[in-house]
Structure 1
Amino acid sequence: MAAPLLFLTSSLLVPSGAYILGRCVVAKKLQEGGLDYFEGYSLENWVCLAYFESKFNPTAVYENSVGGYTGFGLFQIRDGQWCGHGRKVCSVSCSELLNPNLKKTIECVKKVVKGKEGMGAWRTWSQNCQFSDTLARWLDGCKL
């Protein structure tokens, strides 16, 4: 019973045919987008966050029934708060955050992280990246 449940859960996060980027590709795109030490957060923090939010899938859409929102893209930008009707914090439609070139996504996360919570706006960062003493591993082997 656990195996089918695990498959169902993972298929929600990474649907069949999903567009998954490699870890080093993500790091390079985020670096080129100016996220390395943006608001004091290292590139390793951003790559860690991208992994725990979407498993490096820039086209991920995940409905969070507990939180009552849908997350979009590499960083699971929340509708209703950060993107969507009325454009919210990021001044962008949520669907624009599903582009693998990550331009709109990077623009949006820069606005979110400037808020009072910083990267703490993402619970996954607080739980998995904030106090990690192994952040350097996220860039291991990447030629940046």
Structure 2
Amino acid sequence: MSKVKRMTAIAGITSSILLAVAPAAHADDPSWRSHWDDAHIAQESHSWLDSNYTEINYTHCDSNSDVSTHVLLWRKLDYQPDPTFGSKRFTQCFSGSNGDWTSTGTYSGLDAGAYYFSVQYIDDHFYSDSTLDVTTVYVDTTKAD
């Protein structure tokens, strides 16, 4: 088995295990709050229903190099590949510059449906042994903030 296939298999197994023990959230919850300990690349969040706008917030992040993380938004579809809506690079939650430790990624113009996000990069690496801790992971679907 090639190194890439082995890494992909390990990431998939790890994601499955982490999802099995992750705190529960209902798919119809428009907003939810949680945390991540030792998250890995390709780890997936809970899913939620949305009809236009999603805001993903990370507060107080920690990783091996404390550089950045990227999140990738997906739409959950049945019987076909889930489309992605692009990634957002989070750095503010690592640095806390100006006293603000929150990184925010926003997506708008979304079709109604179930969505989730995954960790795409940790410390700017796609393949890495790095893990990610986030004190607060918060998804908000109300644009009124």
Same fold (TM over 0.5): no
Bigger fraction of residues in strand: 2
Bigger fraction of residues in helix: 1
Greater relative CO (CA pairs within 8 A, separation 6+): 2
TM normalised by structure 2 equals 0.29
